[in-house]
Chain A
Amino acid sequence: MKIKITSHIKLFSALFCAVLTISCQRECGPILVSNAVVRFITEDNNGTLAKSIDSLYVFPVGLEDSVLYSWARNINSIRLPLSPISDSTAFVMKFNDITEIVKFYYKRQLYFISEECGFSVNYLIDSVKYTNSKIVSVVIINPKVQATHEEHIRFYF
């Protein structure tokens, strides 16, 4: 059996084109930002239940114009954008007429998404402080905040 040079070239061309086609997806698609996902929970005699907030208004302290939730109705979870330029971020949360301030303390870590998309930021939550006006307790379920829809924090009412 003698392998012809033309066979090599044909095989090489086909494989090289396949490799290039696979690797040539050069566009960076929409990137999910690493937000802290908070769920609202209430407890009664029947156990733990998701709590639906009638009306919620949220903005980051220092960015009053960047309203994240403007009297959102019947909401039981929220996504909070942690500041990538600071190791803590505070949010003002208005539950109807009760105002709560919640502050997240965390570590930041840059990570490489891909050659097309470049870098983004993940967070590792250390602690959460709150004014106790409406929220009874806070539990960190998953401290690692990445670009996913995973739950990170629970606010108990």
Chain B
Amino acid sequence: MRSIFVFIFSVFFLTSLSALQPDTLVRAIRIGVNISHYGYFAVEGGFLRNEITIDYTWKPKNFLVMDFGIISGGIKTENYSLNANGFFSRFGIDHNFLPHPEDVLSVGARMGFSSYRYRPSNIALFDPVWGDFEGFIEPQQMSALWVEAVFGIKSEFFSNFFMGWYLSARVMLLNTQSEIFADYKVPGFGSLKGSVSPGFGFYVFYRFPFNNKFTGNN
């Protein structure tokens, strides 16, 4: 499953790169904020993720995309506390299938990286035979590298303001997740349970237009 996914990702990535023309002129940079995390945080609590995305129009139908996010905060329950801090980033390409530049229906590929630390504390446990006891775990510094396929839609709803959402399927390539958190979340990737981790996001964007126009066969 993983090898198929990596193969598709590689083909898409290389095909997109081969289409790059040296005389392509920049048209716009679009900066967005992923607001779905704030909705989730307001309902569920837990860790706070701040995530921005930047896309750069290097061809009329193709965008270079970079996401950057930081994770902070923690979970506090009766039985444990878990604080996290770290960052993640994704780089990749989107291809737009719609002719209208104010509408984007895209399929893309990303490579993601995450570096993060989990700090458990105040661990209280109960064993039905041995009774209550306390646990101690050193802070765990971890990192991960993955690829993902992305499907997204965005459109202009006000001059240079865009709204959009994406769905993604992520496959882990390498990670140093400790056995203590073997099935838990990797910031920017999601849960390590299963071979594919689904992702979802909802963005609000602002586009910084340039005067440059595309040339050549674009």
Contact = CB atoms under 8 A, between A and B. Distances in A.
A8 B181 CA distance: 36
B182 A19 contact: no
A33 B127 CA distance: 8
B39 A16 contact: yes
Contacts of B100: 1-2
Given A85-B130, A110-B137, A112-B184, A8 B163 contact: yes
Interface string B112-130: 0000000010010101111
Contacts of B120: 112, 119
Interface string B79-111: 110100000000000000011101101000000
B165 A15 contact: yes
A118 interface: yes
Given A12-B202, A20-B43, A119 B125 contact: yes
A2 B105 CA distance: 11
B80 A119 contact: yes
Given A16-B202, A110-B180, A5 B130 contact: no
B36 interface: yes
Interface string A91-128: 00000000000000000011110110011110000000
Given A85-B133, A119-B79, A119-B80, A109 B125 contact: no
A16 B123 contact: no
Contacts of A24: 44
Interface string B177-205: 00111111000000000000000101000
A142 B12 CA distance: 44
Interface of B: 36, 39-40, 43-44, 46, 75, 77, 79-80, 82, 98-100, 102-103, 105, 120, 123, 125, 127-130, 133, 135, 137, 153, 155, 157, 163-165, 167, 179-184, 200, 202
B165 to A, nearest CB: 6
Contacts of A4: 155
B79 A66 contact: no
Given A5-B155, A12-B202, A84-B125, A115 B46 contact: yes
Contacts of A63: 129-130
Contact of A5 (B40, B163, B165, B179): B163
Contact of B179 (A3, A81, A109, A118): A109
A88 interface: no
Most buried by A among B127, B133, B180: B127
